[in-house]
Amino acid sequence: MSVALLLAFLVGAALLMLFAQAGEAQIGTLLGSAYVWHILRFTLTQALLSTVMSAAFGVLVARAFARETNFPGRRALLGLMSLPIVLPSLVAVFGIIAVYGQNGWLARALGAAGLEARPDIYGLGGVVLAHVFFNLPLAVRLLLPGWHSIPVETWRLSAQLGMSSWSIFRLIEWPMLRRYLPHAAATIFMLCVGSFAIVLALGGGPGAATFEVAVFEAIRFEFDPPKAATLALGGLALNLACLALAQGAVGDAVIGSGWRTREQDWGQRPMAARVLDGVLIGAAAVLLIGPVTATLVDGFTGLVNASLNWSLVGRATLISIGLAVPAALLTLLLALPMVLAEGGARSSKPAHAAILRAALILPIAVSPMALGLGCFLILRLSLDGMPRAIVGIVLLNAIMIVPFAAAILRPAVERARARHDHLCRALGITGWSRWRLIDWPILRPSIGTALALAAAMALGDLIGIGLFGDAKLRNLTLLLYDQLGAYRMGGAAVTAALLMLLIFVLYQVVERLVGGRAAP
Amino acid sequence: MTLRRCALLAAVIATSTAASAPLRADVPTLTIYTYNSFVSEWGPGPALQKEFEGTCGCRIDWVALEDGAALLSRLKLEGEETDADIVLGIDTNLTAETKATGLVLPHDVDLSAVKLPIAWNDADFVPYDYGYFAFVYDSEKLPDPPQSLAELARAGDTPKLIYMDPRTSTPGLGLLLWVREVLGNEAAGAWKNIAKKTLTVTKGWSEGYGLFLKGEAPLVLSYTTSPAYHQMVENTDRYKAVNFAEGNYLQVEVAARLNTSDQPELAQKFLAFLISRPAQEKIPTTNWMYPAIDLGDALPEAFRKLPVPAKSLLMPQDKVAANRSAWIDEWLNSAGQ
């Protein structure tokens, strides 16, 4: 609980610090501004569309993955699923454009086939495409544990009863989805509301702008932090409304308490169903692998053509890792106690649990720009120079990643509680021995995944490192921007590919080392 | 095991970064706020630092932010508590606002060597380079680019172009002022037409120019000096800039010392160094802008061969400050529908 308060306090204080600055923000003027309403409309439209597409497609793909438990490349594909969400947006945008752009692979293939048609991704369509690229894999990662939470006994029973596929969906999967889907969708919605560079790059014109653009403008060109904070509060209100909606939609399905939930053997399923699963997984794979491959190919081309200063790349790599690992550990240190407390309070003190849950999601409900600047202002009070930059970057990243780590940890904690709470109470196993003997073995894979995700996300940090601006602390993402800013496209392509590979490798290594062999 | 390994790694990196920073001995430190690309490997920062530290008996500490607007914004946030002795990288559209912070100390530098397209006798800001905004085109894809702003703003769907958002970037703001300066009250109609030719509007120059080089559109907002990079580093004449018939909008980049600094003399020395010949010779091929003094034959040939705009446009500062917001609204209403 105290960690939750600390987190909520930090986020709140960050916004308060902005309000404390001189400025002329007046909520009345902002509410009366056609511009604000226009931005609100576009933010909502693109976020809703992106969320519906990501979530709907995500349910289908997660279901396919849950059923097809044994095909070559499944594990690798699931590993890839964690990649988009942690990629710096610029890398993803260039990857997407390399495939779907005016001069991309698709356009050139159409041209080679003698067709006139060309893809046009600039506009709402491109924004949604990019957001689905980012968030479909996230949806799959968040929903798959739902299927894993359905006990083997349930499946066995459904088989014995000869339930139709529709009945299985209606009676087993839908109640499970009502537990998992609302929060997954709310998370995606909030990420799309906070999206910024992608929306501008692919939006095709000034009409395509989110709240975050207005926050940025207020900070950069209008020098009006209170206005930025007011706009950030507007975005926060939107996100909280969405969260409330999600909370209302959550069903009260009982968590399965069966033992073996993995390696479910689906036996003979109709060929048509398996083909459909194959098509869904294939489509998701194509969506995912296209931009990733394009980034690697561009990186390789750049490697051949550009001369690189490898000591610079090496140094940036070390700095990236050196900042990401502490940030990941701090993320876990913040998220795990809160998720455990939330799990403990769920049945006895539902209000407590709800507060914890809200605190855990708060960092992505608030404008990243406003949060970052607020944190900078707080840290200024006591630190300066390199220590401030290091503490600030680690802290800011940890705060912003907590919601993702919590989303990964929560299902495992719920499962552990559902299975062992009664037994532990009956046997009087508490405290450290309970953690060591009961919880750790069950939670370990999820802790590994959460830590891996946190490290990978922090590796691609730009907000923190850009904000504190210590010229000696330059990570790979900043190096990428430096190269672009100096016309070095070839070198930038190499850095982008390297960064992506590093993110992928770090994720896999941390997940396997910490999570053990059972990691998903 | 893993955690221990991670901790070890973190410790190694922390100590190595700490060790790479010279010890805080008794040499005075000059803290300079600037933008990222100035101090990157390819920018002028590293060379200037080496040169200056060799003679000043001091140490330069850079704080690098995203761009000129970020610098000013940071300065406003920190106010009198700022660590900066010098702020370097504000452009002419932001000098009035910078001065309004009340933090700028007159530079006391002899500017007689400075040679810009406009007269410069500002007591507060030392100009260190300049450039003209221009549309750069890919001559392989667009042999016949528009030759004037009026032609660019004519009705039609082509050629496709990329520019930057005036809400988030300084070149974007430059284009906004350029259009306004040339077309005045016809700007709204012009933006409506330009919108039909716009492929996309990016957050910053890097994204926009990157998309251009990837072949997404044959025309992009950049500088007249951009082709010099492609000629000198990539040996290609493929990318060229158009000088518009109405003239091109000027951007002068400046530096200033701050009155909160406890070493104004050292700051003054750096500003004087900044427009000295050794420093200025490094500017063209690192910042890809024109130097602020006449380098004569020391200016690289690629720069000397660049066509110079017929007219340089620059709006008075107070006019920019007073109208920026209204003109952005005009742009949004015309180009954003």
Identify which of B10, B203, B213 has the shortest CB distance to residue A201: B203
CATH homologous superfamily of B24-130+252-305: Periplasmic binding protein-like II (3.40.190.10)
Distance CA(B196)–CA(A204), nearest Å, equals: 10
- Predicted local distance difference test score (pLDDT) of residue A358: 82
Q: Cβ of B207 and A384 within 8 Å?
A: no
pLDDT tens column, A110-158: 888 888 777 888 888 889 999 999 999 999 988 988 888 888 788 888 8
Q: Cβ of B36 and A204 within 8 Å?
A: no
Chain A partners of B211 at a C-beta cutoff of 8 Å? 97, 101, 201
Tell whether B185 is within 8 A of chain A (Cβ). no
- Predicted local distance difference test score (pLDDT) of residue B20: 47
Q: Cβ of A204 and B198 within 8 Å?
A: yes
Amino acid letter, A286: V
Q: Tell which B residues from 287 to 316 touch A, by Cβ distance under 8 Å.
A: 288
Nearest CA in chain A to B36: A482
Identify which of A221, A319, A469 has the shortest CB distance to residue B17: A319
Chain A partners of B83 at a C-beta cutoff of 8 Å? 384-385
- Predicted local distance difference test score (pLDDT) of residue A407: 87
Residues of chain B whose pLDDT is less than 70? Answer: 1-25, 337
Distance CA(B258)–CA(B142), nearest Å, equals: 47
What does the buried/exposed string (b/e) look like for B62-89 if buried means 16 or more CB atoms within 10 Å of the residue's CB?
bbbbbbbbbbbbbbbbbeeebbbbbbbb
Query: How many Å lie between the alpha carbon of B325 and the closest alpha carbon of chain A?
Result: 9
CATH architecture of A2-24+44-515: Orthogonal Bundle (1.10)
Q: Cβ of A35 and B332 within 8 Å?
A: yes
Query: How many Å lie between the alpha carbon of A221 and the closest alpha carbon of chain B?
Result: 6
Query: How many Å lie between the alpha carbon of B213 and the closest alpha carbon of chain A?
Result: 8
Distance CA(B15)–CA(B2), nearest Å, equals: 20
- Predicted local distance difference test score (pLDDT) of residue A135: 93
Residues of chain A whose pLDDT is less than 70? Answer: 1-2, 22-28, 32, 251-268, 517-520
> What's the token pair of residue A113?
């086939």
Q: Tell which B residues from 28 to 47 touch A, by Cβ distance under 8 Å.
A: 33, 36-37, 39-43, 45
Chain A partners of B198 at a C-beta cutoff of 8 Å? 204-205
CATH architecture of B132-250+316-335: 3-Layer(aba) Sandwich (3.40)
Claim: this prediction has a pTM higher than 0.90: no
Chain B partners of A484 at a C-beta cutoff of 8 Å? 206-207, 209-210
- Predicted local distance difference test score (pLDDT) of residue B154: 87
Q: Cβ of A201 and B195 within 8 Å?
A: no
Phi/psi region, residue B219 (left: phi>0; alpha: psi -120 to 50; beta: rest), is beta
SS3 A202: helix
Chain A partners of B88 at a C-beta cutoff of 8 Å? none
Tell whether B215 is within 8 A of chain A (Cβ). yes
> What's the token pair of residue A383?
């630190």
Q: Cβ of B332 and A390 within 8 Å?
A: no
- ω into residue B159 within 30 of 0, thus cis? yes
Q: Where are the domains of chain B?
A: 24-130+252-305, 132-250+316-335
Distance CA(B82)–CA(B75), nearest Å, equals: 7
Nearest CA in chain A to B20: A472
Q: Cβ of A201 and B40 within 8 Å?
A: no
Optimal mutation site among B77, B93, B161, B327, interface A, most CBs of chain A within 10 A: B77
Distance CA(A4)–CA(A337), nearest Å, equals: 9
Tally Cβ neighbours within 10 Å of residue B119.
Answer: 7
H/E run at residue A59 = helix A34-67
Query: How many Å lie between the alpha carbon of A251 and the closest alpha carbon of chain B?
Result: 38
- The position carrying tokens 């890919």 is B138
Distance CA(A242)–CA(A250), nearest Å, equals: 12
Identify which of A209, A326, A385 has the shortest CB distance to residue B10: A326
Could you tell me where the DSSP H helices lie in B92-225? 95-100, 149-152, 170-183, 187-197, 205-213
> What's the token pair of residue A407?
């989303």
Q: Where are the domains of chain A?
A: 2-24+44-515
Distance CA(A373)–CA(A378), nearest Å, equals: 9
> What's the token pair of residue B155?
């009705």
3-class SS string, A140-184: HHHHHHHHHCCCHHHHHHHHHCCCCHHHHHHHHHHHHHHHHHHHH
Q: Cβ of A322 and B13 within 8 Å?
A: yes
Nearest C-alpha neighbor of B34 from the set B52, B46, B17: B46
Helix A476-485 × helix A489-515 angle, to 10°: 170
Q: Name the pairing type of β-strands B161-164 and B219-223.
A: parallel
Optimal mutation site among A220, A297, A478, interface B, most CBs of chain B within 10 A: A220
User: Residue A308, exposed/middle/buried by CB under 10 A (0-12, 13-18, 19+)?
Assistant: middle
